[in-house]
Each structure stands twice: as C-alpha cells, then as structure tokens.
C-alpha cells in the first residue's frame, strides 16, 4: 500500500479513468493518501468525475515515472466521515483554500478490491492485491 502511495506521490500526477455510459473519461488527478490502511483519493461532488464514480465506482488510475508505470484498478467507496476528509486535507494543505471537511462538496473515496500493477520496459509486471 505504502509503495503504491509513494509511487503516486513521486509521479505527482496520475490519470483517473471512469466510465460514463459507454464512454471512457480520463483526467489528471494528484491526491493519493493512505488512511487507516486504505488508499484514498479526493474530489468534489460538483464534478462530473464524482457523478460518474457514484454511477459506476469501477475505476482505473495510471501514473508513470521514467520508464516505470503503475496501474491501480478497483472499486471506489465513498467515506463520508469527517476524519477521513480531514486526514486528506491535512496531507494536501494546498487543497484547504478550495475544500474543507465541513463543506458540502469535499468527498473522499478509498479503493476496495483493488489490484496494483507495477510495469516497466525492463522488468516483468508485478501484481499486488491491495
């Protein structure tokens, strides 16, 4: 789990793919935070990405650093607890200008039934169940 979080933080940006009917959607994301042993991401309820996750929580993310890339596929589960949101905002102080744990917009999701695959041009893929 920590290895996945570190890879995502080192990459800085990853790309989050959702399903919108029969249309894939992808956008850059940056939030990745381990809380209570689970990998969380953060978004805002007003965004299309949030609506897509609620309609179909199966997602995949992809990040790369140099010749290595990581994909995480799984199902996102919303965690509505204040402490989960606050932990994310504490990990990303830059978000605190736009989001707060008590607004009606901030939401955090954790990965459930997730599989992380570390890939490289030079090594065999390594698959880890989260």
**Interface residues with ligand FMN (CB under 6 A)?**
13, 25, 27-31, 42-44, 47-49
Q: Which CB, 27 or 123, lies closer to ligand FMN?
A: 27
Name the minimum Å distance from CB 110 to ligand FMN: 14
Q: How far is the CB of 44 from ligand FMN (least distance, A)?
A: 6
Q: Which is nearer to ligand FMN, 28 or 125 (CB)?
A: 28
Q: How far is the CB of 114 from ligand FMN (least distance, A)?
A: 17
80: Cβ contacts below 8 Å, ≥ 6 apart: 107
CA distance 122 to 33: 28
- For ligand FMN, the closer of residues 49 and 89 by Cβ is 49
Burial code of 96-121, b = ≥16 C-beta within 10 A, e = fewer? eeebebeeeebbbbbbeebebebbee
């Amino acid at each position: 789990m920590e290895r996945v979080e570190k890879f995502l933080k080192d990459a800085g940006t990853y790309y989050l793919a959702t399903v919108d009917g029969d249309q894939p959607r992808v956008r850059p994301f940056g939030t990745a935070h381990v809380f209570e042993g689970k990998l969380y991401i953060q978004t805002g309820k007003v965004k299309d990405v949030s609506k897509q996750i609620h309609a179909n929580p199966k997602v995949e993310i992809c990040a790369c650093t140099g010749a290595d890339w990581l994909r995480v596929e799984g199902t996102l589960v919303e965690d509505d607890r204040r402490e989960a949101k606050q932990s994310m905002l504490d990990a990303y102080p830059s978000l605190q200008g736009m989001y707060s744990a008590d607004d009606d917009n901030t939401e955090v999701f954790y990965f459930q039934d997730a599989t992380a695959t570390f890939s490289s041009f030079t090594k065999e893929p390594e698959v880890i169940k989260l």
